[in-house]
Amino acid sequence: MSPQQKLNTSKTITLAFTGASGMPYGIRLLELLLAGGNRVYLLYSQAAQIVAHQELQLTLPSRAKEAEELFSRRFNAAEGQLRVFGREEWFAPVASGSNPADAMVVCPCTMGTLAAIAAGLSQKLIERAADVMLKESRKLILVPRETPFSAIHLENMLKLARGGAVILPANPGFYHHPVNVQDVVDFVVARILDHLGVAHSLMPRWGAES
């Protein structure tokens, strides 16, 4: 199957990076979504640019086109497979329910972004894209990386869960006996991919025969 044929039979996923710690989760998720032939709409906040540099020494370009070129080259994406949109690019397909993605993941997700989505605010494109997912009954996965959670955080998560969102905290398990940081990252990314219905082989399934 050619890259273009594979792309045409795969999902369209909106992926957003915000300023919470946990950028390795988001970058690994982007890598695997593209490797699986999925089309990805990528959004990221200004704070995410700071975190990416702090945690990964990765410079996220301010220009969308430069970001597309960077990640397409880095992850060998097919032409047109990855599109990056600015924070207030309101003509992006993710801003309208007339052209929604199959699913959206905010990874990592700050408590501020989570609160804005819970309140129905759409002041930035990430918030609007998440609002579109909820109103169109599409899958929205929020990956908070915070500890401890305050009562306000928990109330916002409960509100979103009742509204149809999946709250998937970046809480890795250890029953797969991780031996390095990448194994820990892959545990969380595997759970996200499972909820997206995207096939992967990051780790053995629980109870599966060896």
Neighbours of 65 (CB within 10 A): 10
Say if 112 falls within a structural domain: yes
pLDDT at 4 over 50: no
- Facing residues of 140 across strands? 104
What's the domain range around 104? 3-196
Say how far apart CA 152 and CA 37 lie, in whole Å: 38
| 208 compared with 156, residue with greater pLDDT | 156
Q: What is the pLDDT of residues 115-150, one digit of tens each?
A: 999 999 999 999 999 999 999 999 999 999 999 999
Say if 204 falls within a structural domain: no
DSSP string of 145-196? --SSPPHHHHHHHHHHHHTT-EE-------TT---SHHHHHHHHHHHHHHHH
Q: Residue 208 has what pLDDT?
A: 77
Say if 172 falls within a structural domain: yes
pLDDT at 5 over 80: no
Question: Taking Cα atoms as reference points, which of 188, 193, 130, 194 lies closest to residue 164?
Answer: 130
Contact 171, 9 (CB under 8 A): no
CATH number of the domain enclosing 185? 3.40.50.1950
Q: What pTM, to 2 d.p., does this model score?
A: 0.94
The CA-atom distances, in angstroms, between 95 and each of 38, 41, 119, 168 are: 19, 11, 17, 23
How many helices (H) and strands (E) would you count in the chain? 8, 6
Number of domains in the chain: 1
Say if 208 falls within a structural domain: no
Say if 209 falls within a structural domain: no
Contact 189, 108 (CB under 8 A): no
Averaged pLDDT for residues 105-109: 98
User: Quick one: pLDDT band at residue 9, thresholds 50, 70, 90?
Assistant: low
Q: Residue 168 has what pLDDT?
A: 98
Averaged pLDDT for residues 152-156: 98
pLDDT at 163 over 60: yes
Say how far apart CA 193 and CA 88 lie, in whole Å: 27
Say if 111 falls within a structural domain: yes
pLDDT at 12 over 90: yes
